[in-house]
A and B are shown apart, each in its own frame.
Chain A
Amino acid sequence: MSSADLTSERDLPPEREASAKGDLAPERDGPRDTGLDDASLHRWLARTWRTPPGVIGALSSVDHKVIARRYLITAFVFLCLGGLNAVAMRIQLSGPQRGLIGPDLYNQLFTMHGVTMMFLFAVPIVQATGIYLVPLMVGTRNIAFPRLNAFSYWVYVSGGLFAWVSFALSMAPDVGWFAYVPLSGPEYGPGKRADVWAQMITYTEVSSLAVAVATIVTVLKQRAPGMSLDKIPLYVWALLVTSFVVVFAMPAVMITSTFLILDRLVGTHIFNPAEGGDALLFQHLFWFFGHPEVYIIFLPATGMVSAIIPAFARRPAFGHLGLVLSLIAVGFLSFGLWVHHMFATGLPKLGASFFTASSMMIAIPNGVQIFCWLATLWDGRPVIRTPLLFVFGFFFIFIIGGLTGVMLASVPLDLQVHDTYFVVAHFHYVLIGGSVFPLLGAAYFWFPKITGRMMSERLGRWHFWLAVIGFNAAFFPMHIVGLWGMPRRVYTYPAELGWGNINLFITAGAVLFFLSFVLFAFNLVHGALRGAPAGDNPWDAGTLEWATSSPPPSYNFARIPVVTNVEPLWAERDALPVATGLRVDARELLISTVAEAHPDIREKSATPSIWPLLAAIAVGATFLYSIFTPWAIVWGAAPIALTLIGWFWPKGDPEDEE
């Protein structure tokens, strides 16, 4: 591709016309990268893009990599906390009538476990991986709306703290992660526990939505020249589709939790059948979000698999277009199916069979993906390393989860095992198989890009086997106790039922599974401190994130790559084509056109700022206070407005700040 292809016939830049009228400050120009040698180019860019020093500087960072790292670590901490909850529950259930944990604490434990895993671990960690990787993989210097991105992290971490501090104060929600009314309503849920659930949900989903919008715009508008739609890496496609699902699904849960807090706090009757409301409305709204939620977690994981398999099979993914279309199809279909969570609510029969059929339909695009992956492996020369092992683990576990899912989609069986451990077994197979295993593979795969060092392969294999064995030992027998009728969300069971031994076995498996994460944590720390230096592209993979050094510099790429192929690094073995002409003294990004990724605008990216943190504090304090009085919204409005003005108000030279 020649430079003429990319920049010819562009219309006259508008600012020239406009400046003729004298209404625009004259465009200040600065040094460009064109004439610079590599060493001075790096010096310039490093100064322009650095995160300021000191504590305030660190808190002001808008570098997507810095924020993603924080996100990843925070989400991992929440995973461990949620895992500790699970282990505590399992110890209580390891034998009949154990007196370790009473019903009140047990209710908080499983609720906090579910809430933590779903809202504080699974969704944030896949989004955080995207925050780190998407800008690198599309070849840009920062995510779109970097300050919004920083804000979203602060909101997320404070929302998580809010939940866990309330847990420490024995004020944690105890109504299950989906908090059905009437249990969570004003009548049966006295105290502040359900309010904590409601406000924490609304609050953390704000951050999820902000990240989704930033991701969408990064992918649509900031792709490197030449990365037309057919050359977008599969992982980026997956994140794009996921972000769309977030945009259309998350508002549903925010509406649910907002209606709930209104019912509880100011006495509306939206879910109250006695005054014209309806409790089932809660379930409809919740599952309109809750079912796509599973795909919000699962789609990015398939994107990770689609990145890992080609790298280790040493060939481009088989059926690239088919994989993209499957991702899009799953995104669409994920919305139609929420009612299968409500079979036990006595909906009309015809509706139920329709939803059974469409629940099964989503198996088609998922099947296409699996066949494309197998074909890629079949046709390649697979090198089996830890990331690929975890992908195999994903295949195995996820397929079992899918099979029990097909079983649950049949209404009679669902009615039979509803609210038993069969369901608990099923969704852990799906969630952990479909998401945690790919994530672990991804962690080994991209760790060198994040830290510049390799994780230990030997420990990785130990980790893998421990995880697979522990996981199956813990969760497979749950199917059996479920079929025997052991109910979920009950803190104990009588000895006469004879469930003791198998539960002891389950608990041992759970502990083993938990220990595999301890080993993983050790491998992470050990790798970060002592791992072998990784170099730019340790796996010899083909996508753009491997074109820059490990870890990448603050500006990601010294010169913006020009893309000619889905696996640009495999297509351009001798020299990577790059674009020149960006300023080096200002944070210039290349904005490109949506479909073809033609270069279109040089736009400035936001500079570091403390205001997103202050805004998050103002919003967070308002939410916290609002579980006590509705007036919090009134009092909170002023500080929120002030911090937002501080955030958006330009400082210094008009063209320099945003």
Chain B
Amino acid sequence: MNQRPAADLSGLPTFGHGPRSPTWWGTLGFMALEGTGFALAAGAYLYLATLWPNWRLSAPEPNHWPGTIVTLLLIASLVPNHILNGYAKECAIGPVRIGMVVMSLLGLAPLIVRWFEFPALNIYWDTNAYGSMLWVLLGLHTTHLITDVGDTIVLTVLMFTHHGYSGRRFGDVGDNVFYWDFVVLTWIPIYLLIYWVPRLG
């Protein structure tokens, strides 16, 4: 087929941040499907909870302190996370490197507390369905925490190599910030579900 030039693309930039970049949309897609998984798991928990008049099935109350500390740590981490995002947008390698190290540490800290959170549930997964659901919810979130921290650490290392000097990598940092927000935000309803909802009634 014959062709006639109608548009010139040569002036376009070679990367973009946020919704301009396909990776951002891909990340959003994965959040949508993982978020659906979280919602369904929470739904299953609530479904079982409404089925039984004395939900918790006479298990002891969980100790909410480790979970609360995790929550506070996660919320606090949002501040440096967003500062890091600003530097990523400006493609400023120095501050981004520092920010990535900070975020790696702030990813590891809640994981350490999480280690104590499981025994604080005061019930095992194979005791009854209530225990199973607590471990499932906590396990699901922990999996996300672990994978995201792993990802952050790898990207941190990458930013310290010469590969860091690229627009694409700053975009990756931005997406990492975005995903961490997701990990933090999904935790809040799970936290309420595990520690506070059974106390309501």
Q: Do A and B bind each other?
A: yes
Query: Which chain B positions have C-beta within 8 A of A1?
Result: 6-7
Closest to B55 in A: A276
Q: Give the contacts of B39-70 with A (CB-CB under 8 A).
A: 40-41, 44, 47-48, 51-52, 57
A27 CB to nearest chain B CB (Å): 6
Q: Contact: B8 with A275, CB < 8 Å?
A: no
Q: Which residues from A are CB-within-8-Å of B132?
A: 262-263, 268-270, 277
Interface check A14, CB cutoff 8 A = yes
Are A15 and B154 touching (Cβ within 8 A)? no
Cα A605 to Cα B89 with chains together (Å): 21
Q: Which of A13, A220, A262, A288 contacts B13 (CB 8 A)?
A: A13
A25-46 Cβ-contact flags toward B at 8 Å (1 or 0): 1010000101000000000000
A255 at the interface (CB under 8 A from B): yes
The residue on B at minimum CB distance from A25 is: B165
- Contact (A248, B136) CB under 8 Å given A216-B25, A579-B7, A654-B169: no
Report A261 CB to chain B, min CB distance, Å: 12
Complex-state Cα separation, A80 to B93, whole angstroms: 55
**Is A250 a contact partner of B125 (Cβ separation < 8 A)?**
no
Within 8 Å of chain B (Cβ to Cβ): is A190?
Answer: no
State which of A81-89, A115-123, A176-184, A643-651 sits at the interface with chain B.
A643-651
CB-CB contacts below 8 Å: B90-138 with A: 90-94, 125-133, 135-136
Q: Mark A258-295, 1 if CB is under 8 A from B, else 0.
A: 01001100111110100111100100110010000000
- Contacting pair A580 B8 (CB below 8 A): yes
Is B34 at the interface (CB under 8 A from chain A)? yes
Chain B residues contacting A259 (CB-CB under 8 Å) are 44, 136
A389 within 8 A of B: no
Q: When chains A and B are docked, how far (Å) is the Cα of A645 from the Cα of B22? A: 20
Contact assessment for B126 and A144 in the assembled complex, using a CB-CB cutoff below 8 Å: no
- Chain A contacts for B200, CB-based, 8 A: none
- B12 interfacial by beta-carbon distance below 8 Å: yes
Number of interface residues of B (CB under 8 A): 66
Known: A268-B135, A276-B57. A601 touches B8 (CB 8 A): no
Tell me which residues from 134 to 173 in chain B have a Cβ below 8 Å from any Cβ of chain A: 135-136, 150, 154, 158, 162-170
- By the criterion CB–CB under 8 Å, are A3 and B136 in contact? no
Chain B residues contacting A262 (CB-CB under 8 Å) are: 125, 132, 136
Residues from chain A with a CB closer than 8 A to the CB of B164 are 654
Q: A interface, how many residues as a size bin?
A: 35 or more
Instruction: Tell whether A601 pairs with B12 under 8 Å between CB atoms, given A247-B33, A270-B129.
Output: yes
8 A Cβ contacts from B1-53 to A: 1-17, 19-22, 25-26, 29-30, 32-34, 36-37, 40-41, 44, 47-48, 51-52
Instruction: Given A14-B167, A24-B91, A222-B22, check contact A276 B3 (CB 8 Å).
Output: no
Q: Is A153 an interface residue (CB 8 A)?
A: no
Of A338-346, A374-382, A441-449, A569-577, the one with at least 4 CB within 8 A of chain B:
A569-577
Known: A278-B47, A579-B7, A645-B154. 8 other contacts (CB 8 A): A15-B13, A272-B129, A275-B127, A278-B129, A284-B47, A576-B3, A578-B3, A578-B5
Interface of A toward B, CB cutoff 8 Å = 1-3, 6-7, 10, 13-16, 18, 21, 23-25, 27, 32, 34, 144-145, 148, 209, 212-214, 216-217, 220-222, 225, 247-248, 250-252, 254-255, 259, 262-263, 266-270, 272, 275-278, 281, 284-285, 288, 536, 547, 559-560, 562, 569, 574-582, 590-591, 594, 599-604, 641, 645, 648-650, 654-655, 658
Q: Could you tell me which B residues sit within 8 Å of A by CB distance?
A: 1-17, 19-22, 25-26, 29-30, 32-34, 36-37, 40-41, 44, 47-48, 51-52, 57, 90-94, 125-133, 135-136, 150, 154, 158, 162-170
Can you give 26 contacting A-B residue pairs, CB < 8 Å?
A2-B6, A16-B13, A24-B91, A217-B22, A247-B32, A251-B36, A252-B40, A255-B40, A266-B125, A267-B125, A269-B126, A270-B133, A278-B48, A278-B129, A562-B6, A576-B1, A577-B3, A577-B5, A580-B5, A580-B7, A580-B8, A582-B10, A599-B9, A600-B20, A602-B12, A658-B168
